[in-house]
Structure formats: structure tokens, C-alpha cells
Amino acid sequence: MVFGRSSHRPRPVDPVTLKILVAGGFGVGKTTLVGAVSEIRPLRTEEMLSEAGRPVDDVDGVENKTTTTVAMDFGRITLREDLVLYVFGTPGQDRFWFLWDELAQGALGAVVLADTRRLADSFAAVDYFERRGIPFTVAVNCFEGADRFPGETVRAALDLDPEVPLVMCDARDRESVKEVLVSVVEHAMTRAARAREHAPT
């Protein structure tokens, strides 16, 4: 050891990793959201829409969509040196919902991405996370040409509990998506703190 100095360097901090799901209806922008925020090249499992799938894939309102996620999207974002989020996008069609239980294991929280042109497509995701007690934020993806509604109107239409955060976002914009993810983390932390307060001693 040199006088007055330690030869020991500070140990690098092992980052805390958190898992966030992004769910919602078919064609709502989940793949776009994951890709916009990921600091690595996102893993995508997209396939071309086929004629065989047309009877079950409702493309009303998203007629220009040519691909669909068949397993998941995956991205990563470092919020701080000691905090990393892994973001998993779920498939939107009913026939792939069996994958949701696997993806949901260990998740801190979720984003339900909504499109006001097809708001009813959000009900299944909202119901899924409510039933499993997973904290979630509803993020309204503000598509060009879509009607804009006040947040309280969307909240009432989805019958959300007052504590559920609802935000407007642009799934193509990194900063907008980061705000959505921060909302999920804060909501989950608030829920956890409340649960500790009411836990029996």
C-alpha cells in the first residue's frame, strides 16, 4: 500500500435488475415501444401476417400492419448505474396468451399500451394484471390521426381504479417511453410500501 492511499479499488456495484412487461391489443405499438427505449438491439420475434391468420387477426384500424409478434420482444434500458430495466413485450393476439404467464413471472410491473381507436382491446390486459395483483400503468399511444380524449374519459371507459396511473405517450419517442417506465416503477414502489405498512407485525 502506498502511504496515504489504498490499493483497493471500490468494488463495482452489481445493478438491480427489474422486469417490466408491455402488453396490449394487436397492433397497438408494443414492438415500437420496446425498440424506442432499448439501449441494445431489441430481440424481436415477428412474423409476416398470413392469409391463414386473417380470420383470427382483427386488423380493423391497423390495416397497414404486415407483421406480428409471435413470442415476445425484449429490450434493456439502464436508468442508473445500479438500476437496469428489462422490458418484455407480450404478443397481442388471443392465441398467444398462453405465453403471458411465463413472461409475467418475476415482473415488477407492467405497461398496458392502449389505442383509443381500439380501446376495447385493452380490457384483457387490464383484467390480467388486476387479477394477478401486478402493478400497471396504462399508456395511451397517441397515434397520428387518432381521436384524442381527456385522460379521465379513457380512465372511465376502461373502468380503472383511481390508483392506476394513466399517461399519454408516443411509443416512437425514447423520452416519452422512459416516462412511462418510470411511472410503472414508481407505482410498483408505492404499492410495495403500502403493503409493508399494512403487513401484520
Q: 3-state class of 154 per DSSP?
A: helix
The pLDDT of residue 39 is 93
The pLDDT of residue 80 is 82
**pLDDT tens digit at each of 201 positions of the chain:** 444 555 566 666 678 899 999 999 888 999 999 999 999 987 765 454 444 444 444 545 445 544 554 457 899 999 888 889 999 998 866 666 678 888 899 999 999 999 998 999 999 999 999 999 999 999 999 988 778 899 999 999 999 999 999 999 999 999 999 999 999 999 999 999 999 988 887
CA 111 to chain centre: 3
Host domain of residue 148? 16-197
The pLDDT of residue 12 is 66
The count of structural domains within the chain is 1
The pLDDT of residue 6 is 53
Tell me if 83 is assigned to some domain.
Answer: yes
Tell me if 162 is assigned to some domain.
Answer: yes
Tell me if 57 is assigned to some domain.
Answer: yes
Q: 3-state class of 192 per DSSP?
A: helix
Beta strands in the chain (DSSP E): 16-24, 46-48, 67-69, 73-80, 83-89, 109-114, 136-141, 166-169
Angle at 37 between CA 87 and CA 28, to 5 degrees: 75
Tell me if 1 is assigned to some domain.
Answer: no
What CATH number has the domain bearing residue 61?
A: 3.40.50.300
Contact at 8 Å (CB) between 75 and 40?
yes
Q: What letter would DSSP give residue 11?
A: P
The pLDDT of residue 45 is 56
Q: Compute the residue count for the chain.
A: 201
Tell me if 121 is assigned to some domain.
Answer: yes
Q: 3-state class of 69 per DSSP?
A: strand
What global pTM score does this model have? 0.78
Report the C-alpha gap between 111 and 61 in whole angstroms. Answer: 21
The pLDDT of residue 42 is 79
**175: Cβ contacts below 8 Å, ≥ 6 apart:** none
